[in-house]
Amino acid sequence: MKKCCCGCMTVRTGTLVLAILGLIGSGFNVLQGLFYLLVGDPSIQQYENQVANIDQSRLNEKEREILENTDDLMHFYEAALPYMGAFTLVTSVVHLIVYGLLVAGVNKARHGYMIPALAVDGIGLVLGALLMLGGSIAGFVLLESVYTPHIIAFLVGGSIGLLIGFYFWFVIYSHYSEVKLASEGRLPLVNPQEKYGYK
């Protein structure tokens, strides 16, 4: 692939744009990880307030079971939140380093600098697909028919996000392959630095 974004830009430009956006997104994720560690998630308190206002005596047996399952999930989420915050913080710092290397790799035409981004993003996409599938199955089993539209929406939205993610990964891989082949003399280029104007 030589062009991306419907032919609007080269894969080199697309890779550079993705790297810069990755740096910005990782910076925000660092802040999010710190927020989860230091403050928590306000939605937990909102959920507890909503449950407190429910007259459970009016619920039928099925509704009580769904409420109990939802409550169990929220308690699990609350207990896991500090670990999620730490994980988000660590992975975001890793992504800052990886995307910084990617920017350097594009600017200096060094394919080796691009390998960490391909590896980290590839692993992230595979894990994301597994988590999305596992979360959807757990949702269908625990929450049953009441939340089926929400689970389907989550599954469809997640699938679209993963497809976009795999496309972006392929853009980076295409530029990596291009620079690698040029550095090995397997493309009609004197060297990748001359192609992109870097000496």
pLDDT 10s digits, 169-181:
999 999 999 898 8
Quick one: average pLDDT of 187-198?
49
Q: Domain for residue 111, yes or no?
A: yes
- Report the predicted TM-score, pTM, of the whole model to 2 decimal places: 0.72
**What domain range includes position 186?**
8-191
Q: Domain for residue 199, yes or no?
A: no
Q: Please provide residue 3's backbone torsions phi and psi, each rounded to the nearest 5 degrees.
A: -120, 155
pLDDT at 190 over 60: no
3-class SS of residue 3: strand
Q: Domain for residue 86, yes or no?
A: yes
Higher per-residue pLDDT: 197 or 36: 36
Q: What is the pLDDT of residue 197?
A: 46
Q: What is the pLDDT of residue 195?
A: 52
Q: What is the pLDDT of residue 7?
A: 59
Higher per-residue pLDDT: 170 or 55: 170
Q: Please provide residue 10's backbone torsions phi and psi, each rounded to the nearest 5 degrees.
A: -75, 165
- pLDDT tens column, 126-140: 998 898 888 777 766
3-class SS of residue 188: coil
Q: What is the pLDDT of residue 199?
A: 40
pLDDT at 4 over 90: no
Looking at residue 185, its amino acid is G
Quick one: average pLDDT of 137-153?
68
Q: What is the pLDDT of residue 141?
A: 67
Quick one: average pLDDT of 31-47?
83
Higher per-residue pLDDT: 157 or 5: 157
Q: What is the pLDDT of residue 20?
A: 96
- Give how many domains the chain has, as a whole number: 1
Q: What is the pLDDT of residue 144?
A: 59
- Among 78-87, 115-124, 185-194, the minimum mean pLDDT is found in 185-194
Q: What is the pLDDT of residue 151?
A: 74
Q: Domain for residue 2, yes or no?
A: no
pLDDT at 154 over 90: no
Return d(Cα 190, Cα 193) in angstroms, integer.
9
Looking at residue 38, its amino acid is L
Q: Domain for residue 196, yes or no?
A: no
Nearest to 174 by CA among 10, 11, 9, 6: 11
